[in-house]
Each structure stands twice: as C-alpha cells, then as structure tokens.
Amino acid sequence: MVRFRLLLSLLCAALLLGANPPSPGVHDDLIGGDTLPQSLSEYGFFLDRAATQPAPGVVPYRLNSPLFSDYAEKFRFAYVPQGKTVATDADGRLLFPVGSALIKSFGYRYEDQGMRLLETRVLLHRESGWVALPYVWNEDRSDAVLRRAGKRMDVNIVQPDGQAVAFSYAVPNQNQCKGCHALKGEITPIGPKLRNLDDGERLADWQQRGWFGDTVDAHEVMPDYADISEPVDYRARAYLDVNCGHCHNRAGPASNSGLYLTWEEADPVALGLYKRPVAAGRGSGGFEFAIEPGHPERSILINRMESTDPGVAMPELGRALVHGEGVDLIREWIAAMPGKAEAK
C-alpha cells in the first residue's frame, strides 16, 4: 500500500513536471504534504478550470447563517479522505480528520460576464495542524495562484439595495486567515458546526457518505439570520455568532476584550449588555456600552458595524462595506431590549 502510494505520488510528480494537466481527482499527497501548492488546480478539487464542478468526494455545502463578506457570493466545499470520519466536539464543532480540506471561493455575479471569482481560500488539515492558504484568480479565470501576502483588488458591485459601490476588496494574507481562524492560538475551521450546517438534510447526507458514525450528536439548530419568520433574538444571535463569535469568544483572537458574542454565551455582560469598552479607542464613538439595551443609537456595537474606518470598523478584517441588513437586524434586537432606568 505504502509502495503503491509512493508510486502514485511519483507518477503525479512526473505529470506535474511534464506540465500536463493534473490527473483528475483530489491529490491527497498535496493536502497532507508539506509543500505549498502554487496554484489551486494542482489539488484536483475541481473537474473544470473555473472551479465550479467539484471532483468526486468534494462536497458542496452551505451554512444556515453565513459570514458577511462584502456581499460576495461564496461557494463552499468539504473534502474528507476516503474511509475517514468526522468527529464533533461538545460545542458541535466538526473535527475533520487529517487529510481533509475545506475550500471556499468568493466572487460576484455580473450581468455581462456571469460569476467572476476573485479568490479561493483553502484550509488543509495536515499532521502538523490546519494550514490556511489564499489563492487569487487570474484575469483569464484559468486558475487561482497562491498569494500568501494577500492582495487588494478594485471591485465594482451593485448592492442588494440597488446602490452601486466601488471599493477595495481585500484578499487576506496567510496570517490574517489565522486572525479569524484561531482558537487557543491554533488555526481551526470556524464555519462547520452542527448547528450551522443542519438544514434538515445535509447531516443525513454526510452521514450517508460515511463522514459521521451511526449517530449525529444532539445539537441546537441555528437559523438563517435573514429568515424573518424566526424570532429576532434568534436571528441576531445567529448573526453575531457567525460574524463576530469567531474572534469574540473566550479562546479566540478577541479574548482580551471580555466581549463574547457566540451563540452559546449566557452572561449578559460578556454579551455586551452594559459592558464598558476596554481597548476600543475611537471605536467607542463616545458611547459608554457595547450594547445599551433599548438604545442602538448609543451602542458601540452598532457604531463599529456601521463604520468602514479601519481602527473603528468591526470585524477588523474582511469587510470594506457596511452590511446594512445586518446592522438593521442588530439595531432591531437592541431596540427591543428592556433597559434599566438606573444604568449609566
């Protein structure tokens, strides 16, 4: 078996050296190896150059509530090596086995040219831990190339509210990937949690693929924050969880703030209610509390969501535009909170 795999990788190497198109199928050796493939096509995650047709074993998925990324459309794929299974931890976080990969492409759809991908981010689970790599798409859309230092691109889009905007889209550098994907200082996937994956069908499908054991752990289900049939409280907590909770949790990059915005957070002060800022600087906007119940207009959270000024804007990375729909939701949620008269 070992010899066979060696032979296979030699064969792959020979193919690469010969500059032939990569053989179809996912290249497990590149996921698990210690090289940094220079182009996305090398992995074999997709059957086509445009990265729309996933190779066998590469499974597209959606999240109930996605992170806002400047209105980019995102295409997510998970790959688990044959015969391996995915465990879950107590928080419902998926623990993908070594050899797994998560792939996420970002793009905008234009009337004249269809979907235009800007970047594809790849998370590889290696023996040494997860590695996060950003790939930027060529002008001719033939492939995406590794850009460890990130890149800025001028982008024009029409927002859902009909407004046309021009802005500088930032592909994160490799360290900035970790800026969001860090838990206790280690890189970790942040999207795939049972509560955010469970749409009633997906988990059963993944179980059928053999990714889960006989049972899927009991878990809550997080709603789509845009689904207005759900209670505002649920929607707001889902929004904060996916947009803020990856940093603002007790083991995340914003642990020092004492502001924890995850779905499961139960302490009202940690969630921001009447919580004073610590290191907000001018992010405070002159306000006293992260959330002043009943008063979104005096809540630092809203001030930072509504800003695009680096040094004020939150999240710190990956957002150049204001997410009006998200701001409206959080505003509605805070406005409905009963305030206490004696506070201040």
Partner 1 sequence: MGERPIPQSARLYKHEELEPPMNRIIASLAASTMLLSAGSAMAANHVVTAGDDAQERLQEALIVAEPGDEVILEDGVFVLTDGLSLDVDNVTVRGAGPDKTVLSFKEQQGAGEGLLVTSDNVVLRDFAVEDTRGDGIKSKGADQIVYYNIRVEWTGGPKETNGAYGVYPVESENVLVDSVTVIGASDAGIYVGQSRNIIVRNSVARFNVAGIEIENSFNADVYGNSAIRNTGGILVFDLPNLPQQGGHNVRLFDNIIAENDTPNFAPAGNIVASVPMGTGVMVMANHDVEIFDNVFNDNASSNIMIIGYRRAYEDVNYNPMVRNVRISDNAHGKAGYDPQFDGGAMLAQAFGGTLPPIVWDGVGGEAAGMASSDNVPVLSLGLETSDQPVEQAQPGLASLSGDATPVLPVIVLPEAMEAAIR
Nearer to partner 1, 149 or 204 (CB): 149
Closest CA to 74 of 61, 59, 57: 61
Verify binding: residue 316, partner 1, rule CB under 8 A. yes
Q: Which residues contact 342 (CB under 8 A, 6 or more apart)?
A: none
- Enumerate residues 318-337 that contact partner 1 by CB under 8 A: 320
Verify binding: residue 178, partner 1, rule CB under 8 A. yes
Verify binding: residue 168, partner 1, rule CB under 8 A. yes
If binding means CB under 8 A, how many residues of this protein chain bind partner 1? Answer: 49
Verify binding: residue 109, partner 1, rule CB under 8 A. no
Q: Which residues contact 128 (CB under 8 A, 6 or more apart)?
A: 34
Q: How far is CA 89 from CA 96, 193, 219, in A?
A: 11, 9, 11
Give the tokens for residue 35. 């090289």
Verify binding: residue 135, partner 1, rule CB under 8 A. no
Tokens 């790939």 -> residue: 135
Distance CA 130, CA 122 (A): 10
Build a one-symbol-per-residue string for 289-308: x at contacts with partner 1 by CB under 8 A, - elsewhere: x----------x--------
Stretch that binds partner 1, among 69-77, 136-144, 154-162, 172-180 (CB under 8 A): 172-180
Verify binding: residue 261, partner 1, rule CB under 8 A. no
Nearer to partner 1, 125 or 178 (CB): 178
Closest CA to 283 of 252, 264, 259, 250: 259
Report the residue from 228, 278, 328, 336 that binds partner 1 according to the rule CB under 8 A. Answer: 278
Stretch that binds partner 1, among 17-25, 90-98, 237-245, 273-281 (CB under 8 A): 273-281
Using CA atoms in the order 198, 202, 207, 213, what is the torsion angle rounded to 10 degrees?
A: -10
Nearer to partner 1, 24 or 185 (CB): 185
Stretch that binds partner 1, among 96-104, 165-173, 235-243, 328-336 (CB under 8 A): 165-173
Least Cβ distance, residue 289 to partner 1 (angstroms): 8
Measured on CA atoms in the order 135, 23, 52, 68, is the torsion positive or negative?
negative
Report the residue from 32, 81, 150, 324 that binds partner 1 according to the rule CB under 8 A. Answer: 150
Residue by residue, DSSP assigns 74-109 as EEEEEE--TT---EE-TT-BEEPPTT-EEEEEEEEE
Give the tokens for residue 235. 């929607």
Least Cβ distance, residue 312 to partner 1 (angstroms): 8
Burial string for 261-286 (b: 16+ CB within 10 Å, else e) reads bbbebeeeebbbbbbebeebeebbbe
Distance CA 290, CA 271 (A): 9
Stretch that binds partner 1, among 41-49, 97-105, 227-235, 270-278 (CB under 8 A): 270-278
Site for partner 1, rule CB under 8 A: 38, 148-152, 168, 170, 173-176, 178-179, 182, 185, 250, 253, 255-256, 258, 269-270, 274-289, 300, 309-312, 316-317, 320, 343-344
